[in-house]
Chains A and B, each alone.
Chain A
Amino acid sequence: MDIVINVKSSSHRIRNSIATIFGIVVLAGCARNAPQDTWQPKGDNAQIINNLQWIVFPMAGVVGVLVLGFYAYTIYKYNDRGQPIPSQSHGKPVVEVILTIIPALILTVVGVFTFRGIFELAETEDTEMIINVTGQQWWWEYDYPAQDDQGITQPIISSGQLVIPVGTKVLLRETSRDVIHSYWIPALNGKKDAVPGRINLLRLQADKPGLFAGQCTEFCGLSHANMRMEAIALSKEDFAKWVSNQQKAYTAPADGTLAKEGEGVFLNQCIRCHQVNGLKKVDGTPAIAAPDENVYSGAAPNLSHLMSRNTFAGAKFDLLNKKCRKDVWGASPETIGVKYLSGVSESCLNATDLRAWLRNAPAMKPMYADPAKLEKSGGKYRGMPNLGLTETDIDKLVAYLLTLK
């Protein structure tokens, strides 16, 4: 508690308020359960940044305390106590030169470390795995190209959560399908913008299994605040299991089940934008989504293996209910793999939000989904429109989605 008092009272005493900054630096490491803390690196890249932070923040703090301390003394000492008007000295060049050289020297030291850090972070030659990350309003797509040494024999397309193996140097190749977004998992690295028409590289590496939070950090329009992401690092064995599950063939629900009826609703409505790999139309031909005809970015999340993820709708909502969600977030590095790979069961499903989303998506997350307002985008949506589903349709759809393990 004394820390709170310290920080608060500093705000009131401006002469000491530099201590606030310094206090933050020292104490930020003590923050508990702050999912986006920029001072808790969990991998090499973030560690390089953190090392630099530990140089520049204390330096700034010390300089601040010295300068403002001296200033406080000046303010106190030369208060008008009836002393005569002083000689009109215009300064001493020697003092000026010294006070120019000292900061220059300090900054040179910081600069040398910074320089090294910049080039270390730009290193990509020893990359062990590649994931293509594509931003669009307002979600991220993760596309794992086939990579034999990672056991990925056919491309995996996912969204909502980035899944990576621990101890592996992963290279994200970022781009965007509409406006500029920015990919940021603070525990693993700093930000890198996803710019349409460009491919930007960002390296991530996680030391231990865990779940790391992030947030789109380049303003990307209406629902920018709702464009979140999560990264899950799994042990290499668990990652292999995840990969093999993602590559598992589609199994249609058994005839006569509610889920089977849900597949029908899906084929009737959702398939216009959302792909489920292996899904077949009633006539037996492959059901292919055509989001480019309906959505401005030309993409909608691929829902194959939806229930292997913990989130939906740009990671704004949890697929897991609160209890199960807490179980995964709170898991130790040893147990998180098992818990994550168990996916979303019917008892763990956050049915409330999922049903509300299916009922009227634009009411849950601000989007450009009102047909009357799409003149300038040629009638194409940005986000998911209200599909006007009945409650029975929703029952069926939820039952179907639960089969997409």
Chain B
Amino acid sequence: MSTNELTLTPSQSPSLAKGKLVVSPSQSLGAVRRPVNTTGWREWLFTVDHKKLGIMYGTVAFVFFIVGGVEALLIRLQLALPDGRILSADKYNQMFTMHATTMIFLFAMPMAAAFANYFLPLQIGARDVAFPRLNALSFWLFLTGGLILNASWFLGGAADGGWFMYAPNSGPVFSPSNGVDFWILGLQIAGIASLIGSINLIVTVLNMRAPGMTLMKMPVFTWMILVVQFLLVFSLPVITVALVLLMFQRSYGATFFDVSQGADPLLWQHLFWIFGHPEVYVLILPGFGIISEVLPTFSRKPLFGYPFVVFSGASIGLVGFGVWAHHMFASGLGPVSVAVFSMATMAIAIPTGVKIFNWILTMWGGKIWYSAAMKFAIGLVILFTIGGLSGVTHAVAPSDTQQTDTYYIVAHFHYVLFGGMVFGLFSGFYYWWPKVFGKMLNEKLGSWNFWFMVIGMNMAFGPMHILGLQGQPRRMYVWTEARAGEGLFNFGFWNMVSSIGSFILAVGVLFFIINVIKTTRNPERAPLDPWDARTLEWLTTSPPKVHNFDRIPVVHHLDEFFHRKYEEDETTHTMKQVATGADLVRAEVAAADVDIHMPGASYWPLLLSVGMGVLGMGVIYGTPIMVVGALLVLFSAYGWVLEPSVPEAIDFDTPSTDGPTKEIAPVG
């Protein structure tokens, strides 16, 4: 209570009368105060704003997308010709392990988290997530985990057991480098990030929806993110346990997976896939959510069968917990288990099919605008349909015993995940870029981006169907002429096509990067409602203000924003416009609330994450380091607890008297 700022109240503060933002320091732990100066780089390091965290999630995830992509290109270079010599066996095994790990844990999940962080509060009309500092902790822990995982490249070699890390091959004898240890600790820390994030978002959705927004008026993107968070809450603890067991086996001599001590290596497989299969839906459902926003917007129709799409998403999530053993059809489970999991796997195709039909029927009868975002969304529907159908072919367990661990599976999950998830994310980039950055991505470059990606993707992964059915196994650092066959389906031709395709795909991604650079340099601002959109995130400025909405919207409809713009003509049953999106946004700004309370920045999430990283390194490099890490974690946790989440002083305030054009700017 010794500083001036802390004693200020809104009525006493002269600066507040001018509508400025004040962040007050707190006295927690004496020496380390709540950050005051939130400009420049500090604005990012100590932020708890869900939008800034979303942008950071997205940026870091995209960097990891490039890293994972380069790993993929090296793999394809190695396999373009028989007996490839680009990578050694050891490096190749590290490469495919890290490609999958990076793409799943460091790109797909955090990129979905980026979208969720940014848009979920906006879509439900909230000012932030429920626990803003936890949100920051999630991000910093994810970054810590990602850095630990990739640090292994420079510290004795990366993990080499495959992303599934089957025991006992992941044990200390079979994988003697530290790579697997880095992998365990990196994933464990990134897993904590996801777990915290999922709890945060569930609480946000369940408690912070705008008045009138019942669950069944919630946008489908938010719904799918909600389902994903429940999947994470229930599946992450399982992998956490598995990773702890493996860590104790590798670092402290435990024998959880040591057969000579009576262990059963299938324990790991069950634990891994009980997490690993829901994880597949963790990856895919955000993509489904994104295109469930994009397809209706660009078809000018609501999503066909909204409740069916929502419930099929939820049932995919639920049934997703009951199909894990279809990854283990060759493990020797016995015919009863195999039959049950085979049937359950077929069953999951039904809600998935429902989604595809509903997306197609959303477009049926529409007035379709083929923007870049829409192209990617349509691409998703087509590619995912192909991937889904090839998935049904290995739901047939006996057929799967021929296909599993061959390139046919690689083809399948790249159609499902690259086609289903990455296309969804790119659709989201184009759709929401103007919202996040206030600038439009170039549509022409977007089209190039799309066509290179879709052609490259089909060239890279399409031939893998052939290769797999011809018997080329996965995870082999070389393939040999002796098994290549002759004629149309020989390995040589199709491996080459696939490798060329992967580079075309890479050029597609390059177009996106060029597009981002061009757009960032372009001073032209995006319109407030460029797509004639349907959901609440468009009912505010672009980019949104710190507090998201000048006035918390009251919701009456599914697609609230659209229904504020259009009314149905009773004679023709077509829609006529009664207001533009920009009008509505200006009206909101004009009617801005007073006394908007936002949480202040904090050092602790960042410090705690650093502590966790050091603690993790201690597992590999010895107890003294671990002690330092543990002390840092404890110190940060104490600081966190003693720091009031809502400081006594008001963080900022926007008097409505200042008029509609008032910008809220932080002050130092």
Contact = CB atoms under 8 A, between A and B. Distances in A.
B62 interface: no
A14 B454 contact: yes
Which one of A28, A57, A71 has the greatest number of beta carbons of chain B within 10 Å? A71
A89 B301 contact: yes
A366 to B, nearest CB: 4
A18 interface: yes
A102 to B, nearest CB: 9
Contacts of B175: 221
Contacts of A17: 382, 386, 458, 462
A170 B264 CA distance: 27
A80 B354 contact: no
B405 A118 contact: no
B455 A217 contact: no
Contacts of B558: 90
Interface stretch (A139-147, A186-194, A387-395): A186-194
Contacts of B381: 71
Contacts of B466: 7, 24, 28
Which one of A37, A196, A198 has the greatest number of beta carbons of chain B within 10 Å? A196
A21 B465 contact: yes
Nearest to A81: B367
Nearest to A63: B389
Given A91-B308, A95-B361, A193 B330 contact: yes
Nearest to B485: A34
Nearest to B300: A85
Given A37-B485, A220-B169, A68 B382 contact: yes
Given A90-B304, A178-B174, A191 B487 contact: no
Contacts of B573: 87
A71 B382 contact: yes
A78 B343 CA distance: 37
B398 A197 contact: no
B392 interface: yes
Nearest to A97: B308
Nearest to B476: A225
Contact of A15 (B160, B357, B382, B574): B382
Looking at chain A, what size class is its interface with the partner chain?
Answer: 35 or more
B470 A60 contact: no
A49 B306 contact: no
A28 B402 CA distance: 14
A38 B469 CA distance: 5
Nearest to B366: A78
Contacts of A92: 305
Interface in B355-376: 356-358, 360-361, 363-370
Interface string B159-183: 0111000101100111110000000
B166 A219 contact: yes
Contact of A38 (B262, B390, B471): B471
A121 interface: yes
Which one of A49, A88, A224 has the greatest number of beta carbons of chain B within 10 Å? A88
Nearest to A48: B398
B30 interface: no
B174 A34 contact: no
B459 interface: yes
Contact of A85 (B363, B473, B574): B574
Looking at chain B, what size class is its interface with the partner chain?
Answer: 35 or more
B470 A37 contact: yes
Interface stretch (B108-116, B344-352, B546-554, B646-654): B344-352
A219 B332 contact: no
Interface stretch (B15-23, B87-95, B436-444): B87-95
Which one of B308, B381, B399 has the greatest number of beta carbons of chain A within 10 Å? B399
Contacts of A56: 392-393, 396, 399
Given A11-B458, A196-B265, A215-B473, A114 B398 contact: yes
B86 interface: no
Interface stretch (A235-243, A263-271, A334-342, A372-380): A372-380
B396 A219 contact: no
B96 to A, nearest CB: 9
Contacts of A4: 488
Contacts of A200: 331-332
Interface in A358-385: 366, 368, 373, 375-377, 382
A83 interface: yes
Interface string B398-410: 1111111110000
A12 B393 CA distance: 24
B486 interface: yes
A34 B166 contact: no
A33 B471 CA distance: 12
Contacts of B302: 88-90
A182 B402 contact: no
A119 B339 contact: yes
Given A84-B367, A192-B332, A114 B489 contact: no
8 contacts: A18-B389, A30-B488, A64-B389, A88-B559, A103-B353, A182-B405, A186-B402, A296-B173
Interface of B: 88-90, 93, 160-162, 166, 168-169, 172-176, 259, 262-266, 299-306, 308, 330-332, 334-335, 338-339, 342-343, 346-347, 349-350, 353-354, 356-358, 360-361, 363-370, 378-379, 381-383, 385-386, 389-390, 392-393, 395-406, 454-455, 458-459, 462-463, 465-466, 468-479, 482-490, 497, 501, 558-559, 562-563, 566, 568, 572-575
Given A36-B471, A37-B489, 5 more contacts: A49-B399, A75-B368, A79-B370, A197-B265, A215-B473
Interface of A: 3-4, 7-8, 10-12, 14-15, 17-18, 20-21, 24, 27-28, 30-39, 48-49, 52-53, 55-57, 59-61, 63-64, 67-68, 70-71, 74-75, 78-80, 83-93, 95-96, 99-100, 103-104, 107, 110-111, 113-115, 117-119, 121-122, 137, 178-180, 182, 184, 186, 189-193, 195-198, 200-201, 213, 215-225, 228, 296, 366, 368, 373, 375-377, 382
Which 5 pairs, one residue from A and one from B, show the smallest C-beta to C-beta distance? A36-B471, A190-B401, A34-B485, A225-B476, A200-B332
